[in-house]
Amino acid sequence: MINFLRLVLIAFYVTFISFLALIAVLLDRSFTLYYSFNSPFSKGILKIAGIKVRTTGLDNIEKDKTYIYVSNHASQFDISVLQATVPGNMSMYFKKELSRIPIFGWQLWAGPYIMIDRKNPDSARRSLEKARTLLSEKNISVLLFAEGTRSETGEIQKFKRGAFNLAGKVAHPIIPVTVNGSHKIMSKGSLKINKGTIHVHFDKPVPADNIIDRQDEIDLMNKVRDIILSNHTL
């Protein structure tokens, strides 16, 4: 019963804050007002769910720089945790299907996020162009979950090359991010929320300004994955 009440409260909270965020993004296209909601909004979700967050490695991040954050992904709460802990403004990719959700999806579509349509071959090109603009012109960092989807077991899956192709194109450094404990809080396919602590570690930046070809992307991908694996615990 308590779990059900938490889910209902989170749903109402997300809808209410999404409504405010939608108004903010329509009034202020610089996204300054919109981003003022991000961290408090995410911290509110975590508080309702009974989740604590511990971070390490924040000293590896220069606050006046933009990065490509590459993280493992094992729970729906990973997004809230990273929105609450990543310094500065951050964008992320989202599936086109989410934009159809009233209010919540609308603010994603109108906001500084990157929509991708997996059924449209041109979508990847457009998303790359928007990511480049956010990083290089808007000073907004970009978060990518390199596995492409949440891990069902909590173990780190194979990485996809998208994040590393982007890094090579824009030459912004990658911050490897390791999220530990989120799978135990709420695993993929489950609606049960377990109280607990999620640990987030931000590793040192990995340069991406010497990516020339596909093999360079693969080497970068493997390097970042090895770093995340070295910090990962189930």
CATH number of domain containing 62: 3.40.1130.10
Closest CA to 200 of 222, 185, 220, 217: 185
> Could you give the dihedral angle defined by the CA atoms of residues 222, 226, 227 and 232, in that order, rounded to the nearest 10 degrees?
140
pLDDT for 134-165, tens place per residue? 888 888 999 999 998 888 888 999 998 888 88
- Predicted confidence at residue 78, as pLDDT, reads 95
Residue 78 burial (CB count, 10 A)? 23
Owning domain of residue 73? 2-230
Write down the pLDDT at residue 163.
82
Q: Which residues of the chain have pLDDT under 50?
A: none
Beta-bridged to residue 179, according to DSSP, are 200
The answer to whether residues 113 and 144 touch, using CB atoms and an 8 Å cutoff, is: no
**pLDDT, position 168:** 83
Specify whether the CB–CB gap between 234 and 74 falls below 8 A.
no
Q: How many domains does the chain have?
A: 1
List of residues 6+ apart from 152 with CB closer than 8 A: 187, 188, 189
pLDDT recorded at residue 153: 87
Q: Sheet of 174-180: strands edge to edge?
A: 51-56, 196-202, 174-180, 68-71, 141-145, 90-95, 114-116
Nearest CA to 37 among 70, 1, 80? 80
For residues 21 and 106, the answer to whether their CB atoms sit within 8 Å is no
